[in-house]
Amino acid sequence: MEIGKIKSIIEAILFAAGREVTQKELILALEISEEDIENIIKDMQEEYKREDRGIEIIKVDKSYQLTTKKELYDYIYPILDKRSKPNLSNAALETLAIIAYNPKISRAEIESIRGVSADGCVYKLLEYGLIEEAGKLDLPGKPMSYKTTNDFLKMFGYSSLEELPELPKYKLDENQQIIIDDLVEKNFTEEENSKNKNSDDKLENQATGEKVLVNSEELIKKLK
């Protein structure tokens, strides 16, 4: 089958589906390899960019979806969707970041990291479809765990959680305040590193939580 014909079929499938279409579904429909599917869609994505089309093909995990460009949202929603764009507070974004970096985390664990109740934030994120229940944990009381959804990936422009910004490296000062390594690395001597060994050990135990709170700023930037 000619490449042009395959591209037309892929475009038609994605348009008609109106949802994420898995690579497996495309492979079955076109009877070509996964590698060919990926290469052809990459080529289509570049064509859409060159032609400044109003639509684009996005990859979400191992699926593809035909969508309108996010920068055209303000022109589209008054006509097709009267719902307001999700308005997330910094607290909700911090909670969302914690869940994104810690799939299958319980509400109690979220609250332990943030130091405050997470009920309101979790309910709001569930309402917006940005997180979902991920099953009960094998812990006392069988608490429910949470993970992010594909809607989260699409909202923030990620194909998978592997594309999340790398958590920053930092140390704690004498007041247990975060010091970003990149900003102060040159000022640390071997002697200072030795003095900070105990702080580093403590940091290792709390690293995920505090680093995620720092990194939630990346999500805030993307949402804006």
Rounded to whole angstroms, the Cα distance separating 112 from 99 reads: 13
pLDDT averaged over every residue in the chain: 78
Same domain, 171 and 205: yes
Q: What confidence score (pLDDT) does residue 222 get?
A: 52
Name the pTM for this structure: 0.57
Q: Residue 151's domain spans which residues?
A: 90-162
Same domain, 95 and 133: yes
**219 occurs within a structural domain:** no
Q: What confidence score (pLDDT) does residue 194 get?
A: 46
**223 occurs within a structural domain:** no
Q: What confidence score (pLDDT) does residue 183 get?
A: 42
Domain count, the chain: 3
Q: What confidence score (pLDDT) does residue 69 get?
A: 87
CATH number assigned to the domain comprising residue 26: 1.10.10.10
**199 occurs within a structural domain:** yes
Going by their DSSP bridges, the two strands 105-106 and 63-68 should be labelled as: unpaired
Q: Is 196 exposed, middle or buried (0-12, 13-18, 19+ CB in 10 A)?
A: middle
Same domain, 95 and 153: yes
- Summarize pLDDT for 126-179 with one digit per residue, the tens: 988 899 999 998 888 889 999 999 888 888 878 888 888 776 655 555 554 444
Query: Which stretches of the chain drop beneath a pLDDT of 50?
Result: 176-208, 214, 223-224
Same domain, 47 and 103: no
Q: What confidence score (pLDDT) does residue 74 get?
A: 79
Same domain, 94 and 138: yes
